[in-house]
Structure 1
């Protein structure tokens, strides 16, 4: 799915305020602290709470393996002023059909409109470098900030679905979204300045 360009761990994307890079072992403490926050984990479908160090280590290994194989692209978010300090994660994971976008941002970085900037950069990379046809995403119905990020980055809501997510202790209802290549090409540009942080 992803070209050789993204399959090397030196690959990165720079935006006005962010540095998106491969996650690495030294990110484990930040992931554990930030993604382990109940306010962050609770808005996702897959991050368990409490979050264990073993689960974080497994996530980092899986993300790097997917990046190397080209089956996904999971990137650590850091501010350009501190590229070694992870503040969140954004990624596209392949599967049957279009890849699915997922992301989370640590609570200390909320409200700065950083996630919209990161999502726009990943979408641009996917459609430009990988020649993708479409991207899907979902957001919990009670996560208005995440839905705003998707809508402001060009995604269109396609429905609502309830799925089983053991990390949340049962079924979770979420809104489904899709962004296809034609719509992405039709956008003058995704305006990350107007996207809300999740």
Structure 2
């Protein structure tokens, strides 16, 4: 898939070494870790190590920094990623943003660009994702993009120190094609 994806307000770009500082700062926030699988407390050096693995191709996912400079926002707002090889029938979407930009529509914009690229550039038949049941904002992001809830799982969240129920979501290629202008291109 493309290394850089452009949206009206964002540039989704490869992670860079200078993203480690803001990534560490936001990932260490309890309110971020409580809604994600990010370790908590966030270990020193974890962001730099993750960025190095991502840039060296050692992850089984493609990860982009969500860069807000096209709209006058910060150069690092969060991350969005797509797990799985291009030939996998189902890819998995994940994302998180720093709390100051929650509610600004950046998650929907970034996730939408990645989903569009996944279907346009790979043979994936579906894209899946999961959100904790109490993460209403993230659920809404997926619903706006056409994802449908397909099940529930329970997983342990380190920040909460407890098991958490998560909803599994899925967007089939046919459903994406029926509603996406990118499918017509």
TM-score (norm 1): 0.81
Matching of residue 12 in structure 1 with residue 4 in structure 2: yes
Q: Secondary structure at the match of 1:51?
A: coil
From the superposition, tell whether residues 37 and 23 of structure 1 become closer, same or farther in structure 2 (CA, over 3 Å). same
Query: 1:10-61 CA distances to partner (integer Å, 9 max, x unpaired)?
Result: x2111110010001111000101112111111111x2112112321122212
Following superposition, the deviation at residue 99 of structure 1 comes to: 1.9
Q: Select which of 82, 86, 92 maps to 1:92.
A: 82
Hey, which bits of structure 1, 4+ residues long, moved more than 6 A? none
Counterpart mapping for 1:112-151 below 5 A: 112-151=104-143
Distance across 1 between alignment mates of 2:159 and 2:54:
18
Aligned length: 179
SS of residue in 1 equivalent to 2:41: coil
Residue equivalent to 2:21: 29
- Please list the CA deviations of residues 74-100 of structure 1 after superposition, one character each: whole Å capped at 9, or x if unmatched: 100011145872111001111775221
Equivalent residues of 1:23, 1:74 under 8 A apart: yes
RMSD (Å) for aligned C-alpha atoms: 2.2
Gaps of 5+ in 1: 191-198
Is there any run of 5+ residues in structure 2 with no aligned partner, and where?
none
Pick from 75, 87, 98 the counterpart of residue 64 of structure 2. Answer: 75
Cα offset, 1:115, TM superposition: 0.6
